[in-house]
Structure 1
């Protein structure tokens, strides 16, 4: 399993950051690897909401079916799956005056033969986490 974590300070109140990030469809705005992320169901964003995420990694296109697993005032957890990997995006939020401290943690658990490649992919996922950490504050503070 690969786990990457980044902490960023965002110049926005926690409630606004939470509302934006709870809609996983916005990942195309802040995750450089995501090409598109489309909601698969309707209604308010709540636990159980689902998205189809299309990403490009190492020149290959991959699709994951994501589900919102946890939605609280200080934490969002999304889980995405396909045959090769289970990806968990765990986002913690805490107020810091008028700002928000955002802790982004991605865990990738590879299945089958893909498990053998996991150690070789760590560096690329670290670079991707750096790019997410740089982009998140920019996107969140634009709105």
Structure 2
């Protein structure tokens, strides 16, 4: 079995889980804090929930990847899981929020198909994953700073 590249990072945000969740579930907010996301919009009408679809574009090492993802799990102010349903890279993205002293522990995890090799070359998988992990780390720190200033 081939291991899928996984990126997982966490940050404590000095806001309650409900406020963090409300910010995260607005598709248009993602490019303001997640450095690899260049555009994001909700495709389906209404409040987000299981079945809600988002379209977006991500830039990794200068290459743009367009995708459509869909929520397959949705627990307000607690957790969400979305999976790619269209695009060049298959992935599952998970968000988890836990109330902790000082605010909310936000954990963001992306499980990608190991097929980045078809795009960058198989030997590039570890390099791409490491670069993306650094981007996610910086993005989570940016999100924590952003939500403090928006209070």
Q: TM-score, normalised on structure 1?
A: 0.87
Question: Retained in 2: the 8 A contact 1:25–1:51?
Answer: no
Q: Does 1:113 align with 2:102?
A: no
Question: Retained in 1: the 8 A contact 2:12–2:105?
Answer: yes
More strand by share: 1
Show structure 2 runs of 5+ residues with no match.
none
Question: Retained in 2: the 8 A contact 1:84–1:110?
Answer: no
How far did residue 93 of structure 1 move?
Answer: 0.7
Please show how residues 1-143 of structure 1 align to structure 2 within 5 Å: 1-72=4-75, 73-97=77-101, 99-111=103-115, 113-114=118-119, 116=122, 117-143=124-150
SS at match of 2:54: strand
How far did residue 118 of structure 1 move?
Answer: 2.4
Between the aligned partners of 2:101 and 2:84, the Cα distance in structure 1 is 33
Q: TM-score, normalised on structure 2?
A: 0.83
- In the alignment of these two chains, the number of paired residues is 143
Q: Report the RMSD for the aligned CA atoms in angstroms.
A: 2.0
SS at match of 1:54: strand
Between the aligned partners of 1:65 and 1:16, the Cα distance in structure 2 is 25
